[in-house]
Amino acid sequence: MMKTVGELKEFIKDLPDDMLLANYESNMETSGYRNRLSCDVVNMKTETKHSWDRFDGTDYSYEVLKRAEDGVPYLRFS
């Protein structure tokens, strides 16, 4: 797992510039890998969400990123 642009650059440094990209997409009608990936830079910040395990009822929390004008810049892939 990569968390920074530097880690991404190090990972791809030896790959050819013309190597194709694949991204997994899934929706109500289709799913599979496709050659279409987009990215942009957006300000985001961490938000804590809460949920529960539907099987045993255990409560838990997890962190996600949320778009925010006062956040820090992230390279976002979609």
Segment 49-72, tens digit of pLDDT? 999 999 998 999 999 999 999 999
CA distance 18 to 25: 22
Q: State the chain's mean pLDDT as an integer.
A: 95
Give me 53's structure tokens.
Answer: 């395990």
Residue that is written with structure tokens 């496709």 in the block:
34
Residue 11 binned pLDDT confidence (cut-offs 50, 70, 90): very high
Cα 34–Cα 38–Cα 39 angle in degrees, nearest 5: 145
Single pTM value for the model? 0.78
pLDDT score at 60? 94
Q: How do 31-34 and 23-26 pair as beta strands?
A: antiparallel
78 has pLDDT over 90: no
